[in-house]
Amino acid sequence: MPLRTISIFFDEKSFSQNLIDYAVGIAVQHKAHVAGIFVKPFDWPYEPHESYVRGREAIRALIEHYETQEGLAADVASARFQAAAERHGVGFEFRTLRGVDAGDEAALHSLHADLVIVGHAWPGKLPGSWSAVSMLLGSGVPFLIVPEGWSAKTTPTNVTLAWNASRVARRAIADAMPLLSAAQSVRVVVVNPEANPLYGAAPGADIALLLARQDINVTVQQLQTAPGKSVADAISADADENGSDLIVIGAYGHSRSRELFLGGVTRSLLKSATVPLLIAH
């Protein structure tokens, strides 16, 4: 299914012009509508002396002050998002969520998109109740996570596809197909192939053939983990060495009572990847 609706979630901490331009660029490439969803702060950055505020009027004044700051931050984000969308001529909308209530609302907004883009995966960069991981596990919609400092303004052209012959890896291919088809090259990476009999006699060859029949320029690379290094390390190192600007991977995991469980490779890549990461569940 083509990308026709893209949602980008951000707050004050994860907001950047590079992130906005990256998301809008993908929307342009795929002729998609883009929704900017700004999450107001989960908590307010109280100054130490403010803990001594007493009296109804003083407390009300303090609350109004921070609500005004929230509104100003949302106005700035809205103006910059709108300017980028109008500059590129894409259809857009802008919404706001309140951080303290954002978890369920964010998951609901995710369900109405073909692709969700966020600035970082983990609490501390985004409010914990609406981290990319919680929304991914709650919605099943593919997430494209853009690391801090990513400044490339082009859409993905050189993609690394992590393949381990699993259901979630196959799901990732289906979810990423619009981006894979638009890329100049796709590199199927198979790590420690001898450890998995499901790969067959030529690990990665059959899935590469599937992609080639979609007119995708695809190659296969078999890797071995170095001593003391993990599968995630091997994938990241190969992506860096070959100039990849997107890693696609399937994510094992589930969410129970807002507790998050992810497979080790996915979790490690989320923490360490230096290029955008598309994960599917």
pLDDT given at position 274 = 85
pLDDT given at position 259 = 41
SS (H, E, C) 2-66: CCCEEEEEECCCCCCHHHHHHHHHHHHHCCCEEEEEEEECCCCCCCHHHHHCCCHHHHHHHHHHH
How many CA atoms lie less than 13 Å away from 68 in the CB half-sphere?
Answer: 6
What are 166-200's pLDDT values in tens digits?
898 999 999 999 999 999 999 999 999 887 787 77
Residues 119/126, Cβ–Cβ less than 8 Å: yes
Angle formed at CA 59 by CA 54 and CA 60, multiple of 5 degrees: 150
Compute the Cα dihedral for 42, 46, 51, 55 and give only its sign. Answer: negative
17: left (phi over 0), alpha (psi -120 to 50) or beta: alpha
Q: What is the mean pLDDT of each run of 10 residues along the chain (281 residues)?
A: 90 77 94 90 50 53 58 82 93 81 65 87 46 62 86 88 92 96 97 82 94 98 90 92 94 50 70 86 78
How many CA atoms lie less than 13 Å away from 80 in the CB half-sphere?
Answer: 18
**Residues forming beta bridges with residue 160, ordered by sequence position:** 187, 247
| Domains of the chain listed by start with CATH number | 5-145 (3.40.50.620), 158-280 (3.40.50.620)
pLDDT given at position 132 = 56
pLDDT given at position 254 = 47
- Distance CA(199)–CA(255), nearest Å, equals 29
pLDDT given at position 280 = 87
- Distance CA(174)–CA(115), nearest Å, equals 12
